[in-house]
């Protein structure tokens, strides 16, 4: 009789969003997988320097920032699901700042590589694979930060509530994924690749 | 040979294909480049394996298509059908088991035999005593180097034959100067790609003398179609003679001085080599013994005065897109250059 | 909220102004209309791809012909392959899935309807971008040249050195864009299948088609990104001077091949599995028997999907892989024959004991069965590495894959169109014309593609714009070309049949084929909301249960 | 059926049509197209895409815009499916009922594996006996089997073949056991389809057929073996396998005698044709629902 009979059981929001996000993450994973494999394949095959061992340094600080941002975003989503919008905003801000710090660190690293060591994407295979892999990751971080900033602004304007926690959680999944990719990149580029 | 399944398949195939090939090229001298008329050890081994595979797949084909036909005929809806639905049968463990395992066994057998065949055919280095040839693929011609003899030639590969009591197989080392090509003479061996920044190998062992044709099999740009290969297998003595003639410096015939000078003062020398002259390019084929080759332009036209003139005037005439530019020489000059080229025995 | 009259938006509903109609189509998020858009554009691209190859066949009908220049020829086969795979094959199967799957699941739409529309438009604009290259890509010889690198675009032929100008970039970008579309649509299908099944529809009660499309979608999600990654690398090489595929800088030409075929091989199953899906729906209905061995079919589908991820280097047997790799990839490739065989035999098992009705959809599926076996067996021949050394890159390969793609996929696609056309439009396609279509296509197909095997065995490489007269290939090529005439006639009759039946076709009714899956329980065409109330099922064949309440399916499953 | 006759509902909410997807797609495509045409195109495309995405979001957040579609009037709805009881043909053999899983009696697959292993042992005994008698070495048949895969063995002399070679032994064992188990499984699956004399069929007919197939292709399958093979012994070893495996399997369970059934029925492929009622008999009624 009423409108409720018209709602298909499948139309409830949550599971399909999750499945969709998992699908996107799966495809992004194979995308990064290819760049990682190519990086591994080309290790030690550059015909000329600079070589990774000479110019790369462990980005410890950046890594700490990025990994800890996974914790802050988890705290943020938890706060939102408990309807504590202000706490949510704070943790979200923290996440954005940590992500931005990571980007700053990357930018510094790159400018050092380019201007001090003369390593560009054209220099050799190391440059080619390094900038594309790290760059692809940084691009994902940037997208994440833009999206999170949007959400933050909306929440400051009072548009974000518990009912959106599902969506914000999907965003956090994306962010966790970006973090996980960084662990792989870190291992391949800075540990194995040096 | 007893009349077995495989011989039967063989007979049928040979008759069919002989008809196929014969019908088309009755009068021509060139043997069609068919893998079914091998004259070299690897090609013959592959053909042996093919018979087995063709036999097995042929048998599967016959069985499955028969089952299908029988099914269609036997279970078509009859004229006087009562319109009732047939009994519904969901599955049958045993028969499914059977038709899973039978293919597994067939696949296992094929796999095992192929393993042996791959191990026999694929060689990574030349056994001692073999003739070494280095092959370089170019857009759209072939360069052949014989490091042992210091010879370089193009488009026509000369090798010795092996007799029944053994002989001298040829081991080819494959390189590319630009993009990927693939070296394929079906009567001698399977194809192997020719890849930049990578060294590949293959070997041939012709058991008959003669001319065997093939062509580049990997798409390599505009003139991929006209990157033909000619392999000439000689009896060993004849091969030695050929080697000796190739080791000579280029003929320097005073009668064609004019053409020679024109040639040497044109950009030809940047791309072509004629030993003993200042022509020392390697972008195009070595012309030192140009006239020992039966064709030009990687096998597309006969090597004669008329075609040489046409070629030098405008390579695009035979081979649109070829990487040799038209040099803009006037007609008489071209003819003189051609006369010079004609002396490069 | 205003209540909208459903008929106004239903397909073939009340007449609207054409502008309104157009607006309706471009803004629609209804899975059925998007499905129709997909199928329509796919057919459009198929005709384009067919015209391209017809020109090629004209050129090849004679030895040493000079009808078209080598450059034109190379562009034509590149565009033919690219168009047929990316702009005909994939969209066609996404289109049919779009229309049918929500109906089969008893859902109102896909999980993300707007994303669905987005995916479609990405594909279509990607296709336009590819064809814009004919006008826009200032290649080596001035304005206007399509890509000429072959559909698998092997490095280093695609590098700036060997492919100056922008034609290659058009190829990359167009496929990149439509690739995004495919990926989104697949994610959408996965989410729909996993979360929006109607009540009672457990995974093992889904129609076979849904299972297969689920596996296909997972494959798409996993293997399109490697293609995208490879294309991004190539773009970096071409635009920023990176060296991924640059042999001069120590880069590897084979890297591209590995990445491409890691995508490319699963891609061919992405194309063929939907064909299996249509056959798995059509053969039971027209044999009047339940699909034989459903669990085995599901297992085989998943098996094919998994195995297909580990066989890619069988396209690279001739590149000089190590012995061990050649042996490994021979073995893994051969293994695919096992689950595929299971499928073939299960379809045969379905036919056996049935009462076959030879309507056009069934004719196409039976021909598919007969032809696919040949295609698969030539695949097995190619999978034996030493044989592949002889046959790779020859017309035998061309014959093999057209036997699968045309003899298998195209036939099942026609079967599917004849099968679901009544559901989509409410009218049936003419059976008489359908038979003409079928027989002409069978004859044309056989003449064209059976002869191609011979050319390959006689040593004719593919992608050559001309060939010497003394090789013995000419009459075979002539036969191949003659077959195309029949195919053109078949496609033309099909087009005519669609055009005529849309206006004059026999009214179909809800369930013209006496079939068993949920899409036949609603009207033809279905209302935009698909079902008044969401169905509830007890078995794999809900309509069977309704038709034979004394003998329901569920207890046997 | 319940879901076939809907209660009256006012309408159904469906996602509203929107032009943002097409605009977004257009923007994205232009963004890429700009790379090969001009930067301006990229800019326009990018801006378009951003505007479209914002529009898209505004339409879907916080809740996606939907519109209510009126249900079609009842006369334009789908017809309820008409039940046709008793319209399905029956099986008369086996259990009562419309549909059964056939064949009814099957062997356990474990019996097949066991049979395969026993057969493998029997075959090995014969083969090794042959090795001892003909070459005074038990390793010859084993090495010959391995020669199917190892090219160097294919050209080995008798002395080499008489030696114990660990790699060849391992390989031969894997091939022998693997294929034996598979064949044992097939036996278990299809012996019930030949119910009259399972041991005769499985022990003699199949091995003979198999030997014939091997005979016709051994030259390619295993040239080394082909040169040295003694066909009498070979067939004997096949019989040993067939008899041992057939015996083990057919002992595990009694097979119902189905020899009056057509083969397709024995295989479990079809169910029609079992109805023994003649064509003139009236069609049987299904049990009342
Ligand atoms: C639609 C797609 C499709 C499908 C389904 C297949 C299916 C198969 N293909 Fe094919 N293939 C292509 C499309 C497809 N292919 C394309 C497009 C190319 C070329 C790309 C290019 O170069 O441009 C290609 C190229 C190609 C090659 C590379 C050739 C080369 O370039 O050198 C190989 C080599 O192994 C191969 C093998 C196979 C095999 C083993 C199967 C198997 O899946 C077949 C399995 C089926 C059967 C075997 C038949 C049924 C089974 C039975 C009846 C059971 C009993 C059988 C046995 C025990 C053997 N294919
Ligand atoms: C879905 C995939 C698909 C489909 C359906 C087809 C369909 C056909 N293909 Fe294609 N083909 C490929 C995928 C496909 N192909 C691929 C991937 C390649 C490799 C490309 C490469 O090497 O890079 C290839 C390559 C290829 C070649 C090799 C080219 C070469 O190597 O030089 C040939 C040669 O004959 C060929 C022929 C045909 C023919 C005759 C059809 C026919 O079935 C087409 C029939 C359809 C029509 C003819 C359209 C009907 C048109 C009308 C009704 C309008 C009227 C038409 C006219 C007036 C002309 N194809
Ligand atoms: Cu060289 Cu094709
Ligand atoms: Cu493949």
At C377 the three-state DSSP class reads helix
- Burial of C412-428, coded b for 16+ CB within 10 Å and e otherwise, reads bbbbbbbbbbbbbbbbb
Give the CATH number for residue D29.
Answer: 1.10.287
Task: Note whether residue B80 is domain-resident.
Answer: no
The answer to whether C63 and C466 have CB atoms below 8 angstroms apart is yes
Answer yes or no: do D21 and D127 share one domain.
Answer: no
pLDDT-based confidence at residue D271 (cuts at 50, 70, 90): low
Answer yes or no: do B148 and B189 share one domain.
Answer: yes
Give the CATH number for residue B285.
Answer: 2.60.40.420
Ligand nearest to the CA of C406: 2
Q: Alpha-carbon distance D177 to D120, whole Å?
A: 7
Q: Alpha-carbon distance C342 to B101, whole Å?
A: 10
Where does a domain end: B200, B234, B268?
A: B234
Helix residue ranges, H only, B265-318: 268-271, 305-313
State CA D109 to chain mean position distance. Answer: 15
Q: Least CA distance to D172: which residue of chain B?
A: B112
Q: Which two tokens stand for residue B86?
A: 């047939």
Q: Alpha-carbon distance D255 to C117, whole Å?
A: 59
At D223 the three-state DSSP class reads helix
Q: Which CATH topology does C2-547 take?
A: Cytochrome C Oxidase; Chain A (1.20.210)
Q: Do C528 and D14 touch (CB under 8 A)?
A: yes
Phi and psi, residue C114, nearest 5°: -70, -40
Number of domains in chain B: 2
Helix H, strand E, coil C: the string for C119-134 is HHHHHHHHHHHHHHHH
Q: Looking at chain C from residue 266 to 325, which residues have their Cβ under 8 Å from any Cβ of chain B?
A: 287-290, 292-296, 318-320, 323
Number of domains in chain D: 2
Task: Note whether residue B275 is domain-resident.
Answer: yes
Q: Alpha-carbon distance C232 to C332, whole Å?
A: 29
Task: Note whether residue B242 is domain-resident.
Answer: no
D–B contact (≥3 CB pairs within 8 Å)?
Answer: yes
At C498 the three-state DSSP class reads helix
Asked whether the bond before D62 is cis by omega within 30 degrees of 0, the reply is yes
Answer yes or no: do B8 and B62 share one domain.
Answer: yes
User: Which residues partner with B273 through β-bridges?
Assistant: B280
pLDDT-based confidence at residue D94 (cuts at 50, 70, 90): very low
Residue in A9, A34, A124 closest to C226 by CB = A34
Answer yes or no: do B179 and B293 share one domain.
Answer: no
- Express each pLDDT in C391-414 by its tens digit: 999 999 999 999 999 999 999 999
CA separation, residue C521 to residues A63, C198, C517, C527, D77 (Å): 57, 14, 8, 12, 10
Provide the pairing of β-strand B228-234 with B156-160.
parallel
Higher pLDDT, B17 or C66: C66
pLDDT of residue D69: 84
Answer yes or no: do D25 and D112 share one domain.
Answer: no
pLDDT of residue C297: 95
Highest mean pLDDT among D28-42, D145-159, D182-196, D203-217: D28-42
pLDDT of residue D221: 79
Report which ligand 3 atom has the smallest distance to the Cα of B194. Answer: 1
On the CB side of A21, CA atoms within 13 Å amount to 19
Answer yes or no: do D171 and D36 share one domain.
Answer: no
Q: Least CA distance to A163: which residue of chain D?
A: D62
Q: Least CA distance to C184: which residue of chain A?
A: A24
Phi and psi, residue B212, nearest 5°: -125, 130
Domains of chain A: 20-44+60-192 (1.20.120.80)
Which DSSP category does B225 fall into?
A: G
Answer yes or no: do B286 and B176 share one domain.
Answer: no
Q: Do C29 and D12 touch (CB under 8 A)?
A: no
Task: Note whether residue D86 is domain-resident.
Answer: no
Using a CB–CB cutoff of 8 Å, tell me whether C114 touches chain B. Answer: no
The answer to whether A82 and A91 have CB atoms below 8 angstroms apart is no
Answer yes or no: do B187 and B52 share one domain.
Answer: yes
Range name among B9-18, B335-344, C275-284, C364-373 with the lowest pLDDT average: B9-18
Domain boundaries, chain C: 2-547
Answer yes or no: do D153 and D228 share one domain.
Answer: yes
**Residue pointed to by tokens 């040099």:** B327
Answer yes or no: do B188 and B310 share one domain.
Answer: no
Answer yes or no: do B146 and B193 share one domain.
Answer: yes
CA angle B2, B6, B10 (to 5 degrees): 100
Report which ligand 3 atom has the smallest distance to the Cα of B181. Answer: 1
Answer yes or no: do B51 and B179 share one domain.
Answer: yes
Q: Do B92 and D269 touch (CB under 8 A)?
A: yes
Residues with CB under 5 A from ligand 4 (ion): C 265
Residue span of the structural domain in which B326 resides: 254-341
Mean pLDDT of chain D: 78
- Supply the ipTM of this predicted assembly: 0.90
C-alpha distance from C222 to closest chain A C-alpha (Å): 5
Which DSSP category does B158 fall into?
A: E
- Express each pLDDT in C487-508 by its tens digit: 999 999 999 999 999 999 999 8
Q: Looking at chain D from residue 79 to 118, which residues have their Cβ under 8 Å from any Cβ of chain B?
A: 87-91, 98-99, 101-103, 106-107, 109
Of residues C196, C140, C143, C133, the one with CA closest to residue C163: C140
Q: Do D182 and B83 touch (CB under 8 A)?
A: no
| Model pTM score | 0.92
Task: Note whether residue B243 is domain-resident.
Answer: no
Give the contacts of A76 (CB within 8 A, at least 6 positions apart): A87, A88, A90, A91, A92, A94, A95, A168, A172
Answer yes or no: do D185 and D235 share one domain.
Answer: yes
Q: Do D21 and C121 touch (CB under 8 A)?
A: yes
pLDDT-based confidence at residue D196 (cuts at 50, 70, 90): low
Task: Note whether residue B83 is domain-resident.
Answer: no
Task: Note whether residue B329 is domain-resident.
Answer: yes
- Chain B interface with D: residues with Cβ < 8 Å: 4-7, 48-49, 51-52, 55, 75, 82-95, 97-98, 101-102, 104-105, 108-109, 112-113, 115-116, 119-120
Write out the DSSP string of D32-69.
HHGGGS-HHHHHHHHHHHHHHHHHHHHHHSSS--EEEE
Residue span of the structural domain in which D26 resides: 11-69
Answer yes or no: do B13 and B144 share one domain.
Answer: yes
Report which ligand 2 atom has the smallest distance to the Cα of C464. Answer: 32
Asked whether the bond before D274 is cis by omega within 30 degrees of 0, the reply is no
Where does a domain end: B203, B234, B265?
A: B234
- Express each pLDDT in A64-80 by its tens digit: 999 999 999 999 999 98
Average pLDDT for residues C217-238, to the nearest whole number? 96
Using a CB–CB cutoff of 8 Å, tell me whether C66 touches chain B. Answer: no
Task: Note whether residue D54 is domain-resident.
Answer: yes
The answer on pLDDT for D279 being more than 50 is: no
pLDDT-based confidence at residue D274 (cuts at 50, 70, 90): very low
Write the burial class of residue C143 (CB in 10 Å: 0-12 exposed, 13-18 middle, 19+ buried): exposed
Q: Do D12 and C3 touch (CB under 8 A)?
A: no
Residue in D77, D78, D83 closest to C548 by CB = D83
C-alpha distance from C259 to closest chain B C-alpha (Å): 16
**Which residues surround ligand 1 with Cβ inside 6 Å?**
B 60, 64, 103, 106-107; C 152, 268-269, 271-272, 314-315, 333, 336-337, 340-341, 344, 373, 376-377, 379-380, 382-383, 388, 392-393, 397, 400-401, 404-405, 409
Give the contacts of B290 (CB within 8 A, at least 6 positions apart): B296, B303, B341, B344
Using a CB–CB cutoff of 8 Å, tell me whether D286 touches chain B. Answer: no
| Residue numbers in D near B87 (CB within 8 A) | 88-91, 98-99, 270-272, 274
- Express each pLDDT in C524-550 by its tens digit: 899 999 998 888 998 899 999 899 888
Of residues C525, C533, C532, the one with CA closest to residue C420: C525
């Amino acid at each position: 009789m009423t409108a409720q009979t018209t709602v298909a059981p499948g139309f409830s929001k949550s599971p399909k969003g999750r499945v969709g996000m998992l699908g996107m993450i799966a495809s992004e994973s194979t995308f990064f997988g290819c760049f990682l494999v190519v990086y591994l394949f080309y290790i030690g095959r550059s015909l000329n320097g600079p070589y990774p061992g000479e110019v790369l340094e462990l980005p410890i600080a950046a890594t700490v920032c990025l990994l800890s941002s996974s914790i802050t975003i988890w705290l943020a989503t938890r706060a939102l699901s408990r309807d504590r919008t202000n706490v949510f905003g704070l943790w979200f801000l923290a996440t954005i700042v940590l992500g931005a710090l990571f980007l700053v660190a990357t930018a510094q690293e790159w400018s050092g590589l380019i201007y001090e060591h003369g390593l560009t994407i054209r220099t050799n295979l190391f440059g080619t694979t390094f900038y594309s892999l790290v760059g692809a990751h940084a691009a994902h971080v940037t997208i994440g930060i833009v999206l999170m900033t949007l959400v933050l602004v909306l929440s400051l304007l009072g548009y974000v509530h518990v009912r959106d926690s599902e969506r914000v959680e999907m965003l956090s999944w994306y962010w966790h994924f970006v973090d996980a990719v960084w662990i792989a990149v870190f291992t391949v580029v800075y540990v194995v690749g040096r | 040979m007893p009349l077995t399944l495989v011989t039967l398949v063989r007979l049928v195939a040979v008759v069919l294909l002989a008809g196929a090939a014969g019908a088309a090229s009755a009068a021509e001298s060139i043997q069609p480049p068919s893998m079914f008329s091998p004259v070299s050890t690897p090609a013959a081994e592959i053909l042996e394996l093919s018979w087995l595979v063709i036999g097995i797949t042929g048998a599967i084909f016959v069985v499955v298509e028969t089952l299908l036909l029988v099914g269609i005929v036997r279970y078509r809806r009859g004229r006087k059908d009562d319109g009732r639905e047939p009994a519904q049968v969901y599955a049958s463990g045993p028969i499914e088991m059977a038709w899973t395992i039978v293919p597994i066994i067939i696949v296992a057998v094929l796999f095992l035999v192929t393993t042996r065949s791959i191990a026999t055919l694929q060689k990574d280095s030349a056994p001692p005593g073999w003739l070494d040839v280095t092959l370089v693929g170019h857009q759209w011609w072939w360069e052949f180097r014989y490091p042992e003899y210091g010879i370089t030639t193009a488009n026509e590969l000369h090798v010795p034959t092996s007799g029944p009591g053994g002989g001298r197989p040829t081991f080819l080392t494959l390189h590319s100067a630009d993009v990927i090509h693939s070296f394929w003479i079906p009567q001698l061996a399977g194809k192997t790609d020719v890849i930049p920044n990578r060294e590949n190998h293959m070997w041939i062992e012709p058991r008959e003398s003669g001319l065997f044709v093939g062509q580049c099999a990997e798409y390599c740009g505009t003139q991929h179609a006209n990157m033909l290969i000619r392999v000439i297998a000689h009896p060993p003595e004849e091969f030695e003679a050929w080697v000796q003639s190739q080791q000579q410096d280029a003929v320097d015939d005073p009668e064609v001085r004019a053409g020679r000078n024109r040639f040497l003062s044109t950009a030809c020398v940047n791309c072509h080599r004629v030993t003993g002259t200042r022509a020392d390019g390697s972008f195009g084929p070595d012309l030192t013994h140009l006239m020992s080759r039966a064709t030009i332009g990687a096998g597309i036209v006969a090597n004669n005065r008329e075609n040489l003139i046409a070629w030098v005037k405008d390579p695009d005439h035979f081979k649109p897109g070829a990487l040799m530019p038209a040099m803009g020489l006037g007609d008489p000059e071209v003819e003189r250059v051609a006369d010079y080229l004609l002396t490069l025995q | 909220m205003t209540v909208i009259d459903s008929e106004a938006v239903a397909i073939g509903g009340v007449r609207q102004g054409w502008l309104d109609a157009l607006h309706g189509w471009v803004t629609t998020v209804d899975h059925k209309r998007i499905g129709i858009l997909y199928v329509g554009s796919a057919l459009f691209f198929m005709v384009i791809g067919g015209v391209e190859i017809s020109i090629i066949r004209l050129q090849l009908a004679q030895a040493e012909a000079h009808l078209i220049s080598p450059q034109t020829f190379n562009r034509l086969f590149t565009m033919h392959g690219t168009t047929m795979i990316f702009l005909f094959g994939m969209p066609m199967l996404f289109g049919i899935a779009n229309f049918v799957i929500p109906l089969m699941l008893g859902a109102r739409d896909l999980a993300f309807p707007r994303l669905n529309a987005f995916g479609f438009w990405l594909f279509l604009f990607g296709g336009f971008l590819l064809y814009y290259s004919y006008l826009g890509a200032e290649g080596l010889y001035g304005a206007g040249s399509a890509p000429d690198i072959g559909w698998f675009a092997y490095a280093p032929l695609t590098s700036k050195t060997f492919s100056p100008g922008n034609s290659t970039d058009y190829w990359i970008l167009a496929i990149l864009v439509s690739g995004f579309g495919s990926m989104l649509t697949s994610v959408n299908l996965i989410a729909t299948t996993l979360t929006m099944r109607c009540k009672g529809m457990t995974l093992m009660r889904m129609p076979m088609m849904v299972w297969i499309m689920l596996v296909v979608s997972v494959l798409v999600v996993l293997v399109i990104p490697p293609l995208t990654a490879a294309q991004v690398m190539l773009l970096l090489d071409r635009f920023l001077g990176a060296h991924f595929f640059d042999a001069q800088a120590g880069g590897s030409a084979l890297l591209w091949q590995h990445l491409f075929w890691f995508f490319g091989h699963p891609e061919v199953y992405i194309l063929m599995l939907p064909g299996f899906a249509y056959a798995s729906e059509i053969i039971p209905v027209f044999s009047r028997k339940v699909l034989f061995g459903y669990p085995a079919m599901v297992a085989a589908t998943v098996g094919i999907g998994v195995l297909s991820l580990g066989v890619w280097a069988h396209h690279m047997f001739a590149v000089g892989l190590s012995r061990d790799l050649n042996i490994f990839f021979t073995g893994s490739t051969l293994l695919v024959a096992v689950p595929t065989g299971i499928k073939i035999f299960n379809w045969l098992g379905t036919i056996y004991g049935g009462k076959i009705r030879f309507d056009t959809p069934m004719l196409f599926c039976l021909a598919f069965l007969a032809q696919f076996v040949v295609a698969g067996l030539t695949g097995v021949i190619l999978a034996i590495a030493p044989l592949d050394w002889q046959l790779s890159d020859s017309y035998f390969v061309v014959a093999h894959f057209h036997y699968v793609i045309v003899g298998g996929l195209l036939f099942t696609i026609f079967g599917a169109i004849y099968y679901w056309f009544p559901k989509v439009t409410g009218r049936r396609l003419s059976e008489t014309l359908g038979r003409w279509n079928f027989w002409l296509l069978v004859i044309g197909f056989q003449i064209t593609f059976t002869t191609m095997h011979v050319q390959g065995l006689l040593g004719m490489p593919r992608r050559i714009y001309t060939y010497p007269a003394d090789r013995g290939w000419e009459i075979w090529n002539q036969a191949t070309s003659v077959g195309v005439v029949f195919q053109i006639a078949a496609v033309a009759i099909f087009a005519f049949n669609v055009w005529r039946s849309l206006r004059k076709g026999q009214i179909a009714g809800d369930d013209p084929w006496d079939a068993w899956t949920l899409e036949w329980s609603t009207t033809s065409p279905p209302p935009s909301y698909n079902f008044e109330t969401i169905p509830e099922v007890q078995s794999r064949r809900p309509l069977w249960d309704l038709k034979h309440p004394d003998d329901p399916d569920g207890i046997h499953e | 059926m319940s879901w076939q006759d809907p209660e009256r509902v006012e309408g159904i909410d469906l996602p509203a049509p929107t032009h943002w997807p097409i605009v977004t797609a257009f923007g994205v495509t232009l963004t890429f197209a700009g790379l090969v045409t001009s930067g301006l195109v990229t800019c326009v495309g990018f801006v378009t895409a951003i505007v479209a995405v914002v529009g898209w979001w505004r339409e879907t957040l916080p809740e996606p815009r939907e519109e209510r579609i009126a249900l079609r009037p009842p006369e334009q709805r789908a017809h309820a499916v008409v039940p046709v009881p008793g319209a399905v043909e029956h099986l008369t053999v086996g259990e009562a009922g419309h549909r059964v899983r056939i064949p009814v009696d099957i062997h356990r697959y474990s019996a097949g594996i066991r049979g395969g292993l026993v057969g493998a042992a029997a075959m090995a005994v014969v083969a090794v006996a042959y090795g001892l008698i003909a070459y005074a070495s038990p390793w010859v048949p084993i090495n010959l089997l391995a020669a199917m895969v190892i090219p160097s063995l294919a050209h080995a002399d008798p002395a080499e073949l008489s030696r114990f070679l660990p790699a060849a032994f391992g390989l031969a064992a894997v091939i022998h056991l693997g294929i034996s188990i598979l064949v044992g499984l097939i036996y278990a699956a299809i012996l019930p389809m030949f119910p009259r004399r399972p041991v005769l069929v499985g022990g003699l007919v199949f091995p003979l057929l198999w030997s014939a197939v091997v005979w016709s292709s051994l030259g390619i399958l295993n040239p080394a073996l082909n040169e040295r093979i003694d066909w009498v012994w070979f067939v004997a070893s096949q019989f040993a396998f067939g008899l041992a495996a057939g015996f083990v399997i057919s002992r595990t369970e009694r097979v119902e005698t189905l020899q009056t059934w057509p083969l397709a029925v024995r295989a479990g492929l079809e169910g029609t044709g079992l109805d023994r009622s003649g064509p003139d008999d009236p069609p049987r009624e299904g049990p009342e629902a």
